[in-house]
Chain A
Amino acid sequence: MPPPLQAQRLLLSHRRLNPSHRRRFTAVSSLPSAPAKTLATGAAPSSILSIRESLLSGERTAADITADYLSRLRRTEPSVRSFIHVADAAAEREAEELDRRIATGGHDVVGPLAGVLVGVKDNLCTANMPSTGGSQILDGYRPAYDATAVRRLREAGAIVVGKTNLDEFGMGSTTEGSGFQVTTNPWDGSRVPGGSSGGSASAVSARQCVVSLGSDTGGSVRQPASFCGVVGLKPTYGRVSRFGLMAYASSLDVVGCFGSSVVDTATILSVIAGHDKMDSTSSTHDVPDYKSELIPLDLLESKPLNGMRIGIIRETLGEGVDTGVISSIKAAASHLEQLGSVVEEVALPSFSLGLPTYYILASSEASSNLSRYDGIRYGRQISADDLNGLYGGSRASGLGHEVKMRILMGTYALSAGYYDAYYKRAQQVRTLVKKSFNEALERYDILVSPAAPSAAYKIGEKINDPLAMYAGDIMTVNVNLAGLPALVVPCGFVEGGSAGLPVGLQMIGSPFSEGNLLRVGHIFEQTLQNFSFVPPLLAEG
Chain B
Amino acid sequence: MLSAASLAIPRLRCAAPRRGQSARNQWMQLRRRSLSSSSTCPYAAAAAGSGALEPPDLPRLADAARISLSPEEAEEFAPKIRQVVDWFGQLQAVDLESVEPSLRAGTAGSSLREDRPETFANRDAIIEVIPGYDDPYIKVPRVLNKE
Contact = CB atoms under 8 A, between A and B. Distances in A.
A237 B108 contact: yes
Nearest to A415: B64
A396 B73 CA distance: 10
B5 A467 contact: yes
Given A280-B112, A386-B144, A465-B2, A511 B107 contact: yes
A409 B85 contact: yes
B45 A281 contact: no
Contacts of A429: 91, 94, 96, 99
Contacts of A399: 67
A129 to B, nearest CB: 12
A411 B53 contact: no
A419 B96 CA distance: 15
Contacts of B126: 144
A144 B107 contact: no
Interface string B105-142: 11111111100000010110110111110000010111
B111 A280 contact: yes
A38 interface: no
Interface in B61-105: 61-62, 64-70, 73, 77, 80-81, 83-85, 87-88, 90-92, 94, 96, 99-105
A420 B45 contact: yes
Contact of A381 (B46, B87, B125, B131): B131
Nearest to B77: A405
A387 B143 contact: yes
A484 B47 CA distance: 35
Main secondary structure of the interface of B (DSSP, over half): loop
A431 B91 contact: no
A377 B139 CA distance: 10
Nearest to A479: B105
Contact of B131 (A320, A375, A391, A468): A375
B90 to A, nearest CB: 6
Q: Interface centre among A371, A376, A399, A425, by most B CB within 10 Å? A: A425
A422 B84 contact: no
B1 to A, nearest CB: 6
Contact of B2 (A275, A381, A391, A467): A467
Given A237-B107, A282-B109, A426 B91 contact: yes
A387 B96 CA distance: 42
A121 interface: no
Contacts of B102: 427-428, 430-431, 434
A431 B100 contact: yes
Interface residues of A, number: 95
Given A352-B12, A417-B49, A425-B91, A283 B109 contact: yes
A431 B101 contact: yes
A375 to B, nearest CB: 7
Nearest to A390: B141
Interface residues of B, number: 77
A433 B44 CA distance: 25
Among the interface residues A239, A426, A427, which one has the most CB atoms of the partner chain B within 10 A?
Answer: A427
A503 to B, nearest CB: 20
A376 B5 contact: no
B107 A483 contact: yes
B6 interface: yes
A285 B90 CA distance: 37
A205 to B, nearest CB: 28
B88 A360 contact: yes
A512 interface: yes
Given A238-B109, A427-B101, A466-B80, A376 B131 contact: yes
Given A282-B109, A356-B90, A420-B43, A395 B68 contact: yes
Contacts of B58: 408
A465 B66 contact: no
A127 interface: yes
A511 B109 CA distance: 12
A482 B132 CA distance: 43
A512 B107 contact: yes
A144 B108 contact: no
Interface in A46-72: none
A238 B125 contact: no
B110 A251 contact: no
A251 B105 contact: yes
Interface in A356-398: 356-357, 359-360, 367, 371, 374-379, 381, 383-393, 395-396
Contacts of B83: 466-467
A10 interface: no
B81 A468 contact: no
Give the interface centre of B58, B87, B138 by most chain A CB atoms within 10 Å: B87
B125 A142 contact: yes
A284 B138 contact: no
Contact of A386 (B13, B122, B141): B141
A407 B5 contact: no
B36 interface: no
Contact of B142 (A357, A360, A387, A428): A387
Interface of B: 1-2, 5-6, 8-15, 42-43, 45-47, 49-50, 53, 56, 58, 61-62, 64-70, 73, 77, 80-81, 83-85, 87-88, 90-92, 94, 96, 99-113, 120, 122-123, 125-126, 128-132, 138, 140-145
10 contacts: A144-B120, A275-B109, A353-B90, A356-B90, A392-B67, A408-B77, A409-B88, A467-B2, A480-B105, A482-B105
A-B pairs with lowest CB-CB distance, top 4: A483-B105, A427-B101, A392-B68, A144-B125
Interface of A: 127-128, 141-145, 236-239, 251, 275, 277-278, 280-285, 315, 320, 349-353, 355-357, 359-360, 367, 371, 374-379, 381, 383-393, 395-396, 399, 404-405, 407-409, 411-413, 415, 417-422, 424-432, 434, 465-468, 470-471, 474, 480-484, 511-512
